[in-house]
Amino acid sequence: MSGAVTLGSRVPRRHHRGRAIPGEPPLCSAAMHPEQMLRHLRAANALARRAVDAGHHPFGALLVAPDFETVLLEQGNVDAVNHAEAVLARNAAQRFEPSLLWQCTLVTTVEPCAMCAGTQYWAHIGRLVYGLSERQLLQITGAHPENPTLDLPCREVFARGQKALQVHGPFAEVEMEIADLHRRFWKAR
């Protein structure tokens, strides 16, 4: 996205004034407003639809700045190995400082699989918002050869780590629209 680096270098100075701690700064207690979460989730689902139009699987993810509004990066699914969240997290780690990423939010249509949760952990992105649970996706995809869903809750992955990430999801308000996209996609596959 154009301007992403400029935004990224501006936001952390404003946000971290007086409380930046290298490594693992505590997450500030402010939380993204539910209305913002739903708006970002719908934007991520629009990305997922665009991913389908481009020949990929229906997943989309965003990186939202510490102001809970600015979208720093967006990413659709690439393929069965390069999931939207993992690709996004790796790009984020290359572009932005860990102290900024710890205050950022990864927003994704479907709960991250173990690989993506692990990549978010190592990229040091402190917050996660997801729409549909991995268990719900499993009910839609079953053992589909292109998406044999790995059913391991991301909270269990994060609980084995040493950082207290904030996790929000699933959201009943958007489950239907995200699930609809997947039902149509995997049924026709």
Q: Considering only residues 69-98, where is the footprint of Zn ion by CB under 5 A?
A: 83
How far apart, in Å, are the Cα atoms of 29 and each of 89, 103, 114, 146, 176? 23, 10, 26, 39, 30
* Contact residue for Zn ion among 44, 51, 73, 113 (CB under 5 A): 113
116 binds Zn ion (CB under 5 A): yes
Asked if 64 is part of the footprint of Zn ion (rule: CB under 5 A), the reply reads no
Least spacing, CB of residue 61 vs Zn ion, in Å: 9
Candidate ranges 110-118, 123-131, 169-177, 179-187; the one touching Zn ion (CB under 5 A): 110-118
Q: Is residue 56 involved in binding Zn ion (CB under 5 A)? A: no
Catalytic residue among 85, 134, 175, 177: 85
- CB nearer to Zn ion: pick between 16 and 83: 83
Give yes or no for residue 137 binding Zn ion (CB under 5 A).
no
Closer CB to Zn ion, residue 105 or residue 134? 134
63 binds Zn ion (CB under 5 A): no
Told to judge if 85 belongs to the known catalytic residues of this protein, a careful annotator would answer: yes
Burial of 114 (0-12, 13-18, 19+ CB in 10 A): middle
Minimum distance from residue 187 beta carbon to Zn ion (Å): 21
Nearer residue to Zn ion within complex by CB, 11 or 87: 87
Minimum Å distance from CB 112 to Zn ion? 5
- Applying CB under 5 A, the residues found at the interface with Zn ion are 83, 113, 115-116
Active site residues: 85
